[in-house]
Structure 1
């Protein structure tokens, strides 16, 4: 019999998330179920379905906590070393994923399972991107803010994609160097290109003034996320 009145809704959510995080940290996302989490905290599955719509939402909430931990790691590194650059943040990111690999799986799984996560989730992503943007602007202070934001998003996505690919050993047999070397090479080449472009002026293939774009600029999307009102999700 579930302990239906032992905890408030907020306390119960925290209990369930803590149990889910422990399960994912131990076994990854494959074995995570609402029933298993309910059993771990002594409540019925029906009670947890009043808190989480389904397993996908539970994974999304776990992923949100993983993003919180990564943000804390990056901000702590930035506070400790005011001169930290993208290479330093890259090292922090790689160490975080190496230490919390199974937990980071939730971020990959959440992205794959929900094409339009709640706005609170994207706000967490953008707070991490903003750390990259600040660091990038210290190295290249003449970059326009929107170029720096777009570049910070690009670097974050590229590094995460590289880590996810290597972690799953996809194409690993073709890799000629270790993960850190490839990641730092990516940063070197990308930032060298940014420095050469300078103010983000027209590049080949870029939409000309008056032409219709095939998608919203990254900076516009980032602004929409960071200025939106927090939803009822994991704050």
Structure 2
């Protein structure tokens, strides 16, 4: 790699990290390219020599967030030798804790909207889809008679239920739920859903 390319790559990494910090502090709506350019020491227009547009920048930050979430879920399921049901409970609670500790970055994953005619890049789609293995694998052990497609739908449904509880529970409004209570309710929901799915399968 030439010196020029090395400098460009370093500046690009600095830009993504600065954007990550800005979103963490201000939320997605507070992301301003002019402020980012000033932060990393380049002209405002030079930002678009480093990323194609703001969409790519937000997706790159989202990719970093998803990788850290992946690490948090992996850590939650790797301690001891939990049952498949308990693994699902652990990763659900880990998801809740990650969201609470990284609130604005987590929100940005779901708040960001691209234009209807823009296609989500493959690398971003893969970053999202690979997280579902944390749900899919324990479900496959609990429901061995289900096919891959049906398990995938069940995994997404279970995620949607937990995500909905986390999203509402962490709202800074009347529906907010204290974190210890939210963890307990999420654990109860996951256990009830799994018990129901296994009972129906029998």
Aligned to 1:9: 8
TM-score between both structures, scaled by the size of structure 2: 0.81
2:26 is aligned with 1:23: no
1:186 CA displacement: 2.8
- Measured in 2, the distance between the counterparts of 1:171 and 1:120 equals 38
- Measured in 2, the distance between the counterparts of 1:15 and 1:173 equals 35
- Measured in 2, the distance between the counterparts of 1:120 and 1:150 equals 22
- Measured in 2, the distance between the counterparts of 1:114 and 1:157 equals 24
- Measured in 1, the distance between the counterparts of 2:108 and 2:141 equals 32
Question: Are the structure 2 counterparts of residues 54 and 168 from structure 1 closer, same or farther at C-alpha, using a change threshold of 3 Å?
Answer: farther
1:95 CA displacement: 1.0
Residue of structure 2 aligned with 1:106, choices 91, 108, 121: 108
- Measured in 1, the distance between the counterparts of 2:36 and 2:148 equals 43
Q: Say if 2:88 and 2:138, in contact at 8 Å, map to a contact too.
A: yes
> Can you give the 5+ residue segments of structure 2 that lack an aligned partner in the other structure?
none
> Can you give the 5+ residue segments of structure 1 that lack an aligned partner in the other structure?
200-235
Q: Any idea what the Cα deviations from partners look like across 1:3-33, whole Å, max 9, x if unmatched?
A: xx59433322211111111112222222111
2:153 is aligned with 1:153: no
Aligned to 1:38: 37
Aligned to 2:132: 129
| SS in structure 1 at match of 2:28 | coil
RMSD of Structure 2 on Structure 1 (CA): 2.7
1:105 CA displacement: 1.9
Deviates more, 1:65-74 or 1:186-195: 186-195
| SS in structure 2 at match of 1:85 | helix
Of Structure 1 and Structure 2, the greater helix share is in 2
Q: Say if 2:37 and 2:43, in contact at 8 Å, map to a contact too.
A: yes
Aligned to 1:68: 67
- Measured in 2, the distance between the counterparts of 1:136 and 1:190 equals 11
Deviates more, 1:95-104 or 1:153-162: 153-162
- Measured in 1, the distance between the counterparts of 2:91 and 2:141 equals 13
| SS in structure 2 at match of 1:158 | helix
Aligned to 2:193: 190
- Measured in 2, the distance between the counterparts of 1:48 and 1:187 equals 44
- Measured in 2, the distance between the counterparts of 1:18 and 1:67 equals 14
- Measured in 2, the distance between the counterparts of 1:82 and 1:25 equals 34
Q: Say if 1:25 and 1:100, in contact at 8 Å, map to a contact too.
A: yes
1:42 CA displacement: 0.4
